Amino acid sequence: MKFPGIFFFLFLIIHSGFSQTQSGIQPISRKGNIYIYWGWNRAWYSTSDIHFKGENFDFTLRDVESHDKPSSNINNYINPFNATIPQTDFRIGFFIHNHYSISAGFDHMKYVVSQYQVTRISGVISSTETPYDKTYLNDDITISRDFLEFEHTNGLNYINIDARRFDEILDLNKIKISLTEGIGAGILLPKTNTTLFNRNNNDQYHLSGYGISAVVAANISFFKYFFIQSEFKNGFINMPDIRIAPVKTAKASQSFLFTQFNIVLGANFRFGHKHDAVD
> In one letter, which amino acid is 91?
R
The verdict on whether omega for the bond into residue 155 sits within 30 degrees of 0, i.e. cis, is yes
For residue 11, pLDDT beyond 80: no
Q: What share of the chain is helix, strand, coil (3-state, %, to 5)?
A: 10, 60, 30
Task: State the Cα–Cα distance between residues 249 and 89, nearest whole angstrom.
Answer: 32
Instruction: List pLDDT tens digits, range 43-60.
Output: 999 999 999 999 899 999
Flag the least confident range among 28-37, 54-63, 146-155. 28-37
- pLDDT confidence of residue 204: 85
Task: State the Cα–Cα distance between residues 43 and 189, nearest whole angstrom.
Answer: 17
> In one letter, which amino acid is 12?
L
- pLDDT confidence of residue 29: 79
For residue 168, pLDDT beyond 80: yes
Alpha-carbon dihedral 189, 195, 199, 204, rounded to 10 degrees: 20
Domain architecture of the chain: domains with CATH: 2-270 (2.40.160.20)
For residue 105, pLDDT beyond 50: yes
**Tally of CA atoms within 13 A in the half-sphere of 172 that contains its CB:** 8
For residue 279, pLDDT beyond 80: no
For residue 121, pLDDT beyond 90: yes
Flag the least confident range among 26-40, 108-122, 125-139, 263-277. 263-277
- pLDDT confidence of residue 129: 83
pTM of the model: 0.87
For residue 278, pLDDT beyond 90: no
DSSP 27: P
- Distance of CA 198 to CAs 81, 125, 130, 144, 201, Å? 33, 14, 9, 11, 9
Among 162, 151, 150, 153, smallest CA distance to 235 is for 162
- pLDDT confidence of residue 12: 52
Among 210, 242, 247, smallest CA distance to 50 is for 242
Instruction: List pLDDT tens digits, range 176-224.
Output: 999 999 999 999 999 999 999 887 777 789 999 999 999 999 999 998 8
